[in-house]
Structures are given as C-alpha cells and as structure tokens.
Amino acid sequence: MSEHESVPIVTLTDAAKHFGPVRALDGVSLSVRPGDCLGLVGHNGAGKSTLVYLVNGGFAPSAGEISFSGADDAAGAGVRSVFQELSLCPNLTVAENLRISNRALTGAGWRRNARAIITESLDEIFPGHGIDPDTEVDMLPIAERQMVEIAIGFAPRGTEARLVILDEPTSSLDAGIAEQLLTHIKSYCAAGGAVIFISHMLGEVFQVASRIIVLKDGRIVAERATEDFTRQGLVEAMGHVAAEGSAGTDLAERQTGEIVIRTEQGLTARKGEIVGLSGLAGHGQAEALAKLYLSQSSNWRAGHEPKSVFVAGDRPRDGILPLWSILNNMSISFLRQIESWGFVDRAAERAKAEEWKKRIGIRTEDITNPVLSLSGGNQQKVLFARALASTAPVVIMDDPMRGVDVGTKQDVYAMIRDEAAHGRTFMWYSTETEEVCQCDRVFVFRNGEISAELVPPNITEERILEASFHMQEAS
C-alpha cells in the first residue's frame, strides 16, 4: 500500500456528542483507511447512529476533533451514508431520487443520464434486480427500496464514493440479495474503497469486516481484527450473553391443538403455535399477513378484546406514530382494557407501559418522551411492547426484527415462546433463516403461493432454500 493509500479517509480523536445530560458518544477515537471494512456493533442505544452522524457530517462534535483526508468536510472526502430508515422520496421515481443527491445531473438530458447511472449501479451490486428506474419509489416493495438506496450510496455523484456507511443494509433483504451485497462490499474494499458496516446479524459482520469495533454506552469497549473475535466473545463484549434458541416445549401438543387460523391460501395455525412464513422476499408473504390481519381487525365496531395485533417491520410506514410519545405508542393497543365509560385510567396506562418498558428493555429515562427520541431498534421494541401488552390471542409479525440487536432478539424469542406456551398464536414472516428456525411450523412462499409446509426436523436452511426455488407439494 502506497503512502497516499494509507492516509485515513476520516479520523476521530476523542470525539464526543452530548444532548443535554445524555452522552450519546463519549470520547471515541478511530480512523478509517482505504480498503477497510469496519464492522460496528453494539446494542440499540450504544451510540452507533450518533457515530455515523459525526462521520458523515450530520452532527458537529461536542468535544474532540474530526478530520477528513484532502477535504474540509465529509461530502468532499467522498463519505456516503445508507440509513436503516429509508430516506427516499416516495413520490419520485428511482432516477429522480438519484438526482436529489447528484447535483452534477443538470441540463435537458439529466433524466436519461440518471437512468443510466442508477441502472449501472444496481446492475453492479444486484445482478438481475429487475428494477425500472422510472418506477415511483412508493410502488416498490421495501426490499427493492433498500436496494435502490444502497445503489445510490455507491453510485458516482460527480465525485466517487470513498467511504460508504451502511446502517443495517440487509435488514429488508432476503438471503440471496443480501449475499449479492456482501460480495460487492468485499470487492469494493479490495479495490480501495472503504465501508463502515453496521449490522445486528453477526454472521454478516464476520463475513465482510476486516476489523470490528464494539460500542457500549457511547464508548469503544473492544477493537481488533475480525479473526481475533469469536461470535460468543463478540456478544460478551457487547454486554449480553445470548442464549441458544429452541422451539419451546410441548411441540407435539401445539401441533395437534385447536386450529385458530385458516386462510383460503392454505395458511393454518393452532392455538399456542409459532408459525413461520419464509421464502425469497417479495413472494407474497407480507401480502398474506396483511390480508389475514385486515380480515380479523377491520370491524368498525371492534370490541374490548381484539382478535389479532400486528408488529410491523417497516416502522416509519406501518408502525410508529411519529407525533406521539413512547407511552402513547405503547398504550394504544390496550386502552380499551383500562377504560371505563369512555375514560382512560391514566395511572393504569402508565403502570402497564412502565412494566413493558422494563420487560423488553426500552432505553429511555421517561416514557413520555417523543418516540422519535429513541434509536431505531428501541422504536422496534416499542412495537413489540404494544403487541404483547394487548390481549389479542393472535400476533402477526411482518419481519419484525429489523434493526434489533442480538441480545434483544434472544429476549424477544424467549418472550414469544413463553407467550405461545400460554396459548398465544404467532404468525411470523422473517427474512432471517435463524428466526424462521425458531418456529414450530413453516410455510415457504414462491411466486405468491405456498410451495412447501415444513415441520421439525425439516425446518432447515437447506429445505427452505430448496422450497424457495422449486415448487413442490405441501407436506
């Protein structure tokens, strides 16, 4: 490596960021050089997003220094960011969204050039993507929106990208598309680019990162080459030892119990059963869950006891009520249970919300704070608390673990198994095979239809992939 290539793209020296008394980042020093793929891990609220905003220029440090190679700011140094919460303009086309971040696209032919640039970037990262650059973004499924945002992050914008920050980039992608992205990251860094890769999927971090940094409470608590970590050692450094998952107890009893869900498409679920939906993203799983939920919840005279409750994976669009507090976002699911003659028992509301804040580990000092004051992962915990605090016997979950750290995932898995043991039924779509394997029974989707029904011991990655690509009779 030449002297020029060894110069860091960005260097942080004792960088800190304070929001009043909250020390979101507290004295972080690091550098990112060409060829680096830096894995950044830590529980929700550890300071990862704050660090990203310091590196990309979104925040100025409260203390310490940040310097960029050959430039005065992040943009001039070729720093790009792809966020966990999609930031595309939904009413614009794919090509028009590229134009927003690429001021070099001017003149009468800018649309033609934008189409060519974004298509080339999509082709390079996601071969066979099939995305039309003239499609409006709100017409795309969430996986394709994520793909577009990633492609814009790597695309040239007058200058080339030198450092791309990817915040949970595979959270909406199925295994095949995620693998395409990971392959591109490795080739991009091998060619001299740099990546900061943030993910709660530790297998992906080990696959692409050359170095791993662990953040906890706004500080770096571990930093070393990836090969010097083990998975268990990494989880322990984060401050939580994840327990091994299991399908729970009394599986035979659950598989012969009372059927509480039966759809025209062939989905069934029994009382106390955890039923998974799997297959390649965009093959009809989310639509099947939405249809099921609406069929059980669209009665305008809903009673005190709801039939089902929904946990969204696409938080901004389907889950969070952004103008409301954390408390109000949680309590909306159980207000009918604590009201009398139209009046809500505010003390009971607060007590129940505080109970679930503690049970699920929502990191906030005050549940009356705005929900948007929370990190993305903690917002997702609010959605889980909303669902599990209700009395609904059926919980429908649409890829709900997006952006949730490994420790919280294990805690939620345990809660789901406990709730199922007490008779609650779960319908759970996930793009993560590890999560699907937590289920008692799995329906694999392909081209909008059920291609296989799997039960233990056949709920394996190999069987799921086989059914995802080859239609076979349900068994």
pLDDT tens digits for range 122-174: 999 999 999 999 999 989 988 899 999 999 999 987 788 999 999 888 878 88
Query: Which one of 218, 238, 258 terminates a domain?
Result: 238
Model pLDDT for residues 287-332, shown as the tens digit of each residue: 899 889 888 876 655 556 788 999 987 787 788 899 999 999 999 8
Among positive and negative, which fits the CA dihedral 103, 106, 110, 111? positive
* Statement: residue 472 has pLDDT above 50: no
Closest listed residue to residue 256, CA positions, set 273, 242, 241: 273
**Which of 267-271, 303-307, 413-417, 442-446 is predicted least confidently?**
303-307
Q: Average pLDDT for residues 85-92, to the nearest whole number?
A: 84
Provide the Cα torsion 290, 295, 298, 299; round to 10°: -170
Q: Are residues 64 and 187 in the same domain?
A: yes
Contact at 8 Å (CB) between 32 and 10?
A: yes
| pLDDT, position 85 | 64
Among positive and negative, which fits the CA dihedral 349, 352, 354, 356? negative
| pLDDT, position 216 | 87
| 3 state DSSP class of 195 | strand
Joined together, the tokens standing for residue 16 give 């800190």
* Statement: residue 470 has pLDDT above 90: no
Among positive and negative, which fits the CA dihedral 182, 183, 187, 190? positive
Please identify which residue in the block is written with the tokens 């740099």: 194
Q: Average pLDDT for residues 376-393, to the nearest whole number?
A: 88
- Cβ-count burial of 424 within 10 angstroms (0-12 exposed, 13-18 middle, 19+ buried)? buried
| pLDDT, position 241 | 37
Amino acid making up residue 109: G
Q: Average pLDDT for residues 445-460, to the nearest whole number?
A: 88
- Tell me the pLDDT band of 343, cut-offs 50, 70 and 90: confident
Residue 66, strand partner residues: 12
Distance CA 315, CA 336 (A): 23
The number of domains in the chain is 2
Distance CA 425, CA 263 (A): 15
Q: Average pLDDT for residues 386-409, to the nearest whole number?
A: 84
* Statement: residue 76 has pLDDT above 50: yes
Q: Are residues 254 and 177 in the same domain?
A: no
Q: Give the percent of the chain with pLDDT over 70.
A: 91
Q: Are residues 263 and 187 in the same domain?
A: no
Query: Which one of 205, 238, 271 terminates a domain?
Result: 238
Greater confidence (80 vs 312) lies with 80
Residue 421 lies in a domain: yes
| pLDDT, position 5 | 57
Q: Are residues 253 and 234 in the same domain?
A: no
Model pLDDT for residues 197-230, shown as the tens digit of each residue: 998 778 899 999 999 999 988 899 999 999 999 8
Contact at 8 Å (CB) between 121 and 64?
A: no
Closest listed residue to residue 121, CA positions, set 207, 181, 39, 56: 181
Distance CA 330, CA 347 (A): 14
| 3 state DSSP class of 442 | strand
Q: Are residues 453 and 311 in the same domain?
A: yes
- Residue 28's contacts (CB-CB under 8 Å, 6 or more residues apart) are 12, 14, 15, 16, 47, 51, 64, 215, 218, 219, 220
**β-strands 308-312, 394-398: how paired?**
parallel
| pLDDT, position 474 | 38
| pLDDT, position 471 | 42
| pLDDT, position 370 | 93
- Tell me the pLDDT band of 6, cut-offs 50, 70 and 90: confident
- pTM reported for the whole predicted model: 0.64
Residue 390 lies in a domain: yes
Q: Average pLDDT for residues 361-368, to the nearest whole number?
A: 88
Q: Are residues 133 and 94 in the same domain?
A: yes
Residue 29 lies in a domain: yes
Model pLDDT for residues 229-248, shown as the tens digit of each residue: 988 888 788 774 333 444 44
| pLDDT, position 214 | 92
* Statement: residue 335 has pLDDT above 70: yes
**β-strands 425-429, 10-19: how paired?**
unpaired
| Strand segments (E) across 320-468 | 339-340, 343-344, 394-398, 425-429, 441-446, 449-454
- Tell me the pLDDT band of 29, cut-offs 50, 70 and 90: very high
Sheet of 10-19, strand order: 22-32, 10-19, 63-68
Domain of 180, in residue numbers: 3-238
Query: Which one of 219, 238, 257 terminates a domain?
Result: 238
Q: What is the CATH number of the domain that holds 184?
A: 3.40.50.300
Closest listed residue to residue 226, CA positions, set 208, 244, 241, 242: 208
